[in-house]
Every structure is written in structure tokens, then in C-alpha cells.
Amino acid sequence: MKNKNLPYLIIFSVIVVLVAELIGFRAISLGKFKIGLLPLLFALLITMILAIKPLRVGILQKIYTEENVNFAGKYLIIIMLPLMAKYGADVAPKLKDILSIGWIFLIQEVGNVGTVVIGLPIALALGLKRAAIGSTLGLGREGELAYISEKYTLNSDEGRGVLSMYIFGTLFGAIFFSVIAPVFLELGFRIEALSIASGMGSASMMTAASSSLAAVYPEKAETIRAYAAASQLLTSFIGTFTMVFIAVPLQTFMYKRLAGGKKND
């Protein structure tokens, strides 16, 4: 069935992007911390605020239809492909530097199990039970979504957990990382380390984090984008193996110990 409301979504998206670009980059100071607010952040906030049900009147009802929401979610990855191609091109000029510290990019992959080590006990304490398996296996991106859906199906508690994280990450992930990256920078972390950490397996989150760092250090923007892109590509490449061979066994072990090993609790 043809989506007759799709043109409204496209026009609305263009308008939101223009408004966000007009607002531009903004910086706010919270004590000694300086947080950069990107146009991406403003675009997300505008679309999220206008999506609130009481505000969805008039033409907004034609924009925020179920068909348009499904279309946006389905084709988001296609929109991201040119961005990933750009980041791939950013890697080339800094390839020699990246290869010289290549082992660090591999070690940072171990950090991806932090969602299990830190998140799983908290999730179980909050009473998520089996949903904790899906919600803490990773950041809830495509890799985790595919694994959980194949093993448990999305109709299971585990499936609802990973799907919730996928939606939450899509809505708030870019906002969170665009704010937290400059905060860690102010805490004394090296710009190179934070650039590598920006490549976490999500194009939108990586863009938000690396762009915030580049806004603070514009003279190092090329290096920041190159390190973030290389880390992102590596995470996409070996992230699945890290999840399957490290995160999953660790999560299974911890869940049995913390939840008493009850399969259907």
C-alpha cells in the first residue's frame, strides 16, 4: 500500500535539519565542564518534542503516522551509508598512525562487555529478570538485536529487552554521547582515547560523540574523525565475535549466579 503521507515526512525532515543547522553549534558551561550541543542534538530534540501526543495536531498527525515511523526506522541504515563511506575515507589519511597503535583498537573491544558487567546486576536489581539478558548484552544495536531475535525471538522477554534498548538508544543515544564525551574530556581523558571510544557500533552515537570532541578541538578534527571511524569499522567487524565468544558466556555465567539460574523467572 502506498504511503500517501511520506511527502510530509520528507518535507518535515528537511525543515527540521535546516532549523537545526541555523541554530548551529552551541556550548554551555556547567561549572568547569563545557558541553557542546550539536545541530544533530537539536534536530533530535525538535522531532521528539513534536512527537508528544498532545502536540500532534494538524499536519503533524500526517507526519507522525505509523507508516512514516516504520519507514524511517527501516531505511535509517540506508541514510547512514553515505556517512559511513565518508568515515571510511577519513581513515585513509591517518592509516599509518592508526596501524601504529592498532592493538589499542583491539583492546577497546573488551570494553564492550561493560554493559554486562555493570548493566546486568543493575537490571536484575530493578526486576527486569529475563529482559535483562536482551537489554544488557550490548548497546542494543543491530548485532545484539539480530542475535537475540534469532535465539529467543523478539516476542520473548529477552527480545523485548533488546528491542527496548534499540529504541531507547535511537532516541537518546546520540544526545547522551554528545554530552558525555566533552565531560570525560574535561575530566582529563586524552582526546585520542575518547576518539577511539566513540566508535561503539552505532553510527549516530559515534557521530555525536566524535563531533562533540571535534568541536572542542577543531585543530584535531581530522584525527578525531579518523580514530572514531577506524574504531567504528573495527567494532562492526569483530563486535559480533566479541559478543558471541566473550559477552554471551560472561552474561550466562553472571545471570546464573545473580538470578539463581532460573530459566523462567
pLDDT of residue 265: 47
Average confidence (pLDDT) over 107-117: 82
**Is there a domain that residue 40 lies in?**
yes
pTM (whole model) above 0.75: no
pLDDT in tens, 229-265: 888 877 776 777 788 888 999 999 999 998 875 444 4
Amino acid at 170: T
pLDDT score of 263 = 47
Q: What is the pLDDT of residues 208-228, one digit of tens each?
A: 888 888 888 889 988 898 888
Q: What percent of the chain has pLDDT over 70?
A: 83
Domain contains 30: yes
CA distance linking residue 160 with residue 149, whole number of Å: 9
- Is there a domain that residue 61 lies in? yes
1, part of any domain? no
* CA separation, residue 228 to residues 134, 144, 196, 197, 239 (Å): 26, 21, 5, 7, 15
Kindly report, residue by residue over 177-196, the tens digit of the pLDDT.
888 888 888 888 999 889 98
Please indicate, yes or no, if residue 83 is contained in any of the structural domains: yes
Domain count of the fold of the chain: 1
Tell me whether residue 28 is in a domain. Answer: yes
Domain limits for position 221:
6-259
Residue 53 lies in a domain: yes
For the stretch 134-170, pLDDT in tens is 999 988 776 787 788 888 887 889 988 988 887 787 6
Residue 162 · residue 134 · CB < 8 Å: yes
Predicted local confidence at residue 248, as pLDDT: 92
Residue 198 in domain: yes
Condensed to tens digits (0 to 9), the pLDDT of residues 23-37 reads 987 877 766 666 667
pLDDT at 101 over 70: no
- The residue type of 171 is L
User: Is 177:198 a contact under the CB 8 Å cutoff?
Assistant: yes
Q: What is the pLDDT of residues 40-90, one digit of tens each?
A: 778 888 988 999 989 888 899 999 998 888 787 667 667 766 766 766 676
The predicted pLDDT at position 252 comes to 92
